[in-house]
Structure 1
Amino acid sequence: MKKIVLTAGLLILTIGFAYADPIEERQALMKDMGRAVGSVAKIAQGQEPFDAAKVQAALETLAADAQKLDVEALFPEGTETGGDTEASPKIWEDRAGFIAVAEKFKADTAAAVAANPQDLQSFQTQFKLVTANCGTCHQGYRVKR
């Protein structure tokens, strides 16, 4: 009986993943990254005291989210026009460039986590590198509505 319940549960889970909405998934991922950046932005600007634990947690969230940034799964053909999306058609026109930007973001967030900043200056250096990726992507591959 337990095997039947477990098998049915796995089947339902698999079907749920198969029918997941890539637009909703990528928007949720971007919102999570935005929250992580926002949680430490005032620290980076020197408006809040440096908190190594808070900084590291935000960097770890960004790195984990970066690893979920699967271009093929989140930006499949056909999602450039459907739904409420700010994804630029350039994502599909310049697929290799977009993938390169995503890979750089993955590498920079992983490096920031490994750096484990313990003071404001080292955090600002890492934060600047990581958020430069955000700017590159938003300027080149996002249509602001």
Structure 2
Amino acid sequence: MIVRTAVCAALAVALSASAVIAQSKAIAERKEIMKGVGAAAKSGAAMARGSAPYDNAKAVEIFVVYANAAEKMPGLFPDDSKTGGETTASPKIWEDMNGFKAAMAKWGAEAKAAQGSVKDIDSFKTAFGAMGKMCGGCHEVYRVSK
């Protein structure tokens, strides 16, 4: 009986640990993706302001980063990742998952369109500004400020 209790306790601990690892993995992956988005945004802002020279290849790559993030993000919000890992994800994501997925799809589509439409600094500023508004709108709804 003692052995069976010990085995059950060990199994419970192992299952709890694996759930925490899964939760942490989703949160860590979201954070890593958003760090990349932040770095791309910083680079884009520098070009848009003129503090960095305009580079069309870099401009397109910014929108590639955005599109890739938009594609990956919806799958990184399992129910067990609502809390922990210093997440800033708003409960609104899980309350309105269809709305969140639609916002990600729109962001991704706009980022893909921008990849083909950006030809010079003026077209970049237009597309980058529109993307910035989309980012801000999504953060307003689906992110909790620290």
- In structure 2, the residue matched to 1:58 is 62
> Could you tell me how far 1:67 is from its partner in structure 2?
2.1
- In structure 1, the residue matched to 2:105 is 103
- In structure 1, the residue matched to 2:132 is 131
Indicate the RMSD between aligned Cα atoms, in angstroms: 1.8
Cα separation, 2, equivalents of 1:95 and 1:110: 22
Trace 1:36-51 onto structure 2 (pairs within 5 A): 36-51=40-55
Paired residues in the alignment total 125
Larger helix proportion of the pair: 2
> Could you tell me how far 1:91 is from its partner in structure 2?
0.7
> Could you tell me how far 1:141 is from its partner in structure 2?
0.7
> Could you tell me how far 1:88 is from its partner in structure 2?
0.6
**TM-score scaled by length of structure 2:** 0.77
Q: Which runs of 5+ in 2 are unaligned?
A: 1-20
Q: Which runs of 5+ in 1 are unaligned?
A: 1-17
Cα separation, 1, equivalents of 2:38 and 2:93: 20
- In structure 1, the residue matched to 2:90 is 88
Instruction: For residues 35-94 of structure 1, give each alpha carbon's deviation from its aligned partner in whole angstroms, at most 9, with x where no partner exists.
Output: 11111211112333322122122222222222222x1x3011121123210001111111
Do 2:44 and 2:128's aligned partners in 1 also have CA atoms closer than 8 Å?
no
**TM-score scaled by length of structure 1:** 0.78
Greater Cα offset, 47-56 or 34-43: 47-56
Percentage of pairs with the same residue = 42
